[in-house]
Structure 1
Amino acid sequence: MKRLPYPRVMIGLIILFFLLLGIQALLKAPESGATSTERAETTNEVATLDSTFKEDKRVYDKHDGNKLEHVYVTIFDQRTVPENDLTLYDLNESYKQYSNLESGPKLYVHFETGDAKGPDGIQLFDEQEVNATIQLRGRSSRLEPQKSYKIRLQDNAGLWYGQSVLNLNKHADDRTRVRNRLAFAYYEQLDDISSLRTNFVQLHVRDMTNPDKADTFEDYGLYTHVEQLNEEALAARGLNPDGHLYKAENFEFFRYPDKLLPSDDPNYDKKAFESVLKINGSDNHDELLTMLDDLNDLSKPFDQVFDKYFDEDNYLTWLGTNILFGNYDTMSTNYYLYSPLNSEKWYFMPWDFDKALGRDTERTDAMPSWQQGIQRYWGTLLHRRYLKDPENVKSLQAKVTELQEVINPTRTKQLIDGFYPVVSPLVTSEPDLRFLKIEASSYEANYRRLEDITAKYATDFERSLENPMPIFLQYSRDGKQDVFRWDASYDLQNEELTYHFELSTSPDFTTLLKEQANLTTFSYSMPALAPGRYYWRVTVKDESGNTQIPFDYYRDNDRKLYWGVQQIVIPGEAS
């Protein structure tokens, strides 16, 4: 039987069909020489960075933070620099006028380095040129008799160890004078987080605005320089210097819609913005505001929001180290948030530890119990949402245990043994001795308390997990009723909580007007109070008997603090 020829024709047609498909695909495919942007547009993909925080630790390889650096500053008078129309004394007193020292006055100076014998090179004072400015720095330290300074180097001064800004901190409240150096020495050894190059500096000042001091350099004693976190510092660490960088001033991760606005908004006020977050990077705030919108939208699953915007290893390392350092000044301030370009992630970067590592044990006033562990972060939205998940608390505990392999008494002793020969002779001699807040004979004993301090905070942290969380108090008058309201507390062990309400005419509650124990609601109402001053508080208690006080506090005219207490003033009727 003769076979028909059409199967051979069909096969040929099929082959021709697939050949045409291949040619069409080649025509649509980007050329091998196409740019990455063109390829991304073709595939509708957007390039993003690796979400892991990676600091290039080689920046610390040649950094010797145990070496005493000598800095010499000549402050010109108005005859040499007309712009210097105030004296160094006036500059030091300017804190009374400028609470924001960044906007305060500055003096033009000549900056140079040297050794204990004097500046480098031959000094021809009449021929020295302006190469830097000096101004006050520090929020709380501005009230100290010994001031802290910021020196900004001009282009003709070059760079000081690759830096154009010197932050010279006196740290008068730090009896050891090494807390910042110790903290940043530890961060140099840790993954998932950054450090800052920190140096001990002896400052020498020739003050030509004072005729009595115009011819010699005066010893200003020991300072700690902490590297300025800016574009230079980011680039030195292999991080994108053009990203978003904010310093927390009073920031609890709320939206702050009246202050945090896009820079192109007609109502944008940079000063108001920087009362919450100081801008150190890009002026485009859209990515920050998007993150805050999502974080404050409680309808969105927190885990998804957190994973999108934060790196858990970086976050837990920041939180864990501040717990081990006992850094009670990090609830809403004293850290940086950084987000590189082409990334949605936000990373925590540390800053300022003069109120850490035992500073609380030196205070004359007692610290509230919620400062001793996890509770101090409960007033911040991000931390509160993260720590409400028991699994996240376990992750934090695991991170603290992991960090203790590096941060421990043995290693602390090794580090502070290296600092001691540098700082001790300066702290216990003029001019620092004149303002030392302890007897010089007890300096070493105070210094050695640093050795075991991180172990103490690790114990405090574990103990704090048993306590309920702090709350905020709120008073209002509703018609003829006074209404006292408070937040619902939270217990990590999920125990039942009760609230103990107290009202008094004295902040120490020696006289009680009203008291109600074992409340399970979050308010207490009573007939309107007569005009006068009153004080109230609410104590939270769990089933195991662990208690907690509110975040609120009252400070009397003698500046005595009453933690967990709120004052209310009922005005009298106008005559």
Structure 2
Amino acid sequence: MDEAAILPQYKLFIRPIDLRELRRDIWIDDPIPAQLTIEGKRLDIDIAYRGSHIRDLAKKSYQVSFYKPKKFRGSKHIHLNAEFKDPSLIRNKLSFDFFAELGVLSPQSRHIFLNQNGKAEGVYLEIESVDENFLKRRNLPNGSIYYAVDGDANFSLMSDLDKETKKSLQLGYERIVGGPENDYFLHEFIFNINTLSKSEFEKEIQKYVDIDKYLRWVAGVIFTSNYDGFVHNYALYRNGESHLFEIIPWDYDATWGRDVNGKIMEPDYVPIDGFNTLTARILYVESFRKRYRLLLEGIMEQHFTVENMIPKVEKLTQLIRPFVSQDPYKKQDIDLFDRELSVITNYIEERRKYLYRKLAILD
């Protein structure tokens, strides 16, 4: 999904009776029928609100399912994110692109301008759905995909939510791709993370998770400072050929110096060694910890720099700025939008200082 010179125009048409049903209870997941015109092609779709706390915001985010045709550009579903709490509207895309640069599987995304029943709804981020078509587009082996739906996806035997022993090893996950027979491998993975002895762990854990890709994902979370990234905001993919798990990032708008409420986040808020049971156990192993430190140092030399990142920020902000001024939910905050370049620049500079100071704890 390469960015075009101007934003693609998406025109959404919902019958008034269906729109009233959609708005009647924002917490219901049942979709309603609608039509979506994308660059001149009219599509029959089902549409529903998406997200949790963001449903309560003035500018809604949507999940779109293609009905006729069943697929569009190889996708059954797409997500249209309002990015309402992010003053820049670019942090999610900036993060996904950054993860891809690090060699982590990551959704493609692009900004679009949405109109609903002839009325401007503003700038949205279209995000690729992480499903079987995500794998097909990348020529990846079939496998299973699980969404981390809440904080219980913490790789622990203990619930992150009620602090008690989990009643199920699948707590916190929803299977999106694959049959029930795949659940055994997820259960085995979680169980072994928590029960392998110190002497067994280094050798045995490599039979379950791709260590290099896991460390690259951890690094991505650390550099972007996604506070929820270690126990939420990801999908788990088990490669059907290697039989190894790897992680796909999701929901990265609360990053690059702003938290989930859009407030300034301190550069030391997310610790260099992260937090979840799997990360703790992996970084306890000296060989893995050394690999992680070298990885961080390499990324800080090549990728996580003002020189590398700020031109990307400038390109995205310049692309969408004319459309932000037409966004009924954001146009009054255009001055705040314009100041985000300095916010992200300052975050990168200060985060680098923090990480360099903390590298020693990885020795």
**Which residue among 425, 429, 433 is the counterpart of 2:326?**
429
Q: Which runs of 5+ in 1 are unaligned?
A: 1-59, 79-83, 115-119, 122-127, 207-216, 262-272, 467-490, 494-575
CA contact (8 A) 1:338 1:346 kept: yes
* Counterpart residue number, 1:171: 83
* Counterpart residue number, 2:221: 322
% same residue: 22
Cα 1:454–1:163, aligned 2, differ >3 Å: closer, same or farther?
farther
**Which residue among 442, 447, 468 is the counterpart of 2:341?**
447
CA contact (8 A) 1:171 1:354 kept: yes
**Which residue among 31, 42, 47 is the counterpart of 1:106?**
31
CA contact (8 A) 2:90 2:316 kept: yes
Q: Does 1:253 align with 2:155?
A: yes
Q: CA deviation at 1:456?
A: 2.6
SS in 2 for 1:68: coil
What do residues 436-463 of structure 1 show as CA deviations (whole Å, max 9, x unaligned)? Answer: 6xx4334212233223533432322343
What do residues 40-82 of structure 1 show as CA deviations (whole Å, max 9, x unaligned)? Answer: xxxxxxxxxxxxxxxxxxxx6xx3366512111111245xxxx
CA contact (8 A) 1:221 1:432 kept: yes
CA contact (8 A) 1:67 1:199 kept: no
Cα 1:179–1:65, aligned 2, differ >3 Å: closer, same or farther?
farther
What do residues 227-286 of structure 1 show as CA deviations (whole Å, max 9, x unaligned)? Answer: 100111111011123x1111112211124685436xxxxxxxxxxx5x511211122211
CA contact (8 A) 2:293 2:362 kept: no
What amino acid is the match of 1:92? R
* Counterpart residue number, 1:289: 187
CA distance in 2, matches of 1:199, 1:428: 18
* Counterpart residue number, 2:58: 145
CA distance in 2, matches of 1:430, 1:232: 31
CA distance in 2, matches of 1:382, 1:196: 23
CA distance in 2, matches of 1:254, 1:171: 31
What do residues 466-513 of structure 1 show as CA deviations (whole Å, max 9, x unaligned)? Answer: 7xxxxxxxxxxxxxxxxxxxxxxxx878xxxxxxxxxxxxxxxxxxxx
Larger radius of gyration: 1
* Counterpart residue number, 1:543: none
Q: Does 1:307 align with 2:206?
A: yes
* Counterpart residue number, 1:483: none
What TM-score, normalized to structure 1?
0.56
CA distance in 2, matches of 1:73, 1:440: 25
Q: Does 1:221 align with 2:129?
A: no
SS in 2 for 1:372: coil
SS in 2 for 1:431: coil
Cα 1:395–1:175, aligned 2, differ >3 Å: closer, same or farther?
same
What amino acid is the match of 1:417? E
**Which residue among 399, 402, 411 is the counterpart of 2:308?**
411
What TM-score, normalized to structure 2?
0.86
CA contact (8 A) 1:94 1:105 kept: no
CA distance in 2, matches of 1:388, 1:453: 28
SS in 2 for 1:329: coil
What amino acid is the match of 1:151? V
CA contact (8 A) 1:255 1:292 kept: yes
SS in 2 for 1:327: coil
Q: CA deviation at 1:186?
A: 2.4
CA-atom RMSD in angstroms: 2.8
What do residues 14-41 of structure 1 show as CA deviations (whole Å, max 9, x unaligned)? Answer: xxxxxxxxxxxxxxxxxxxxxxxxxxxx
* Counterpart residue number, 1:68: 7
* Structure with the larger helix share: 2
CA contact (8 A) 1:324 1:455 kept: no
Map residues 116-195 of structure 1 onto 2, 5 A cutoff. 120=40, 131-156=44-69, 158-159=71-72, 161-191=73-103, 193-195=104-106
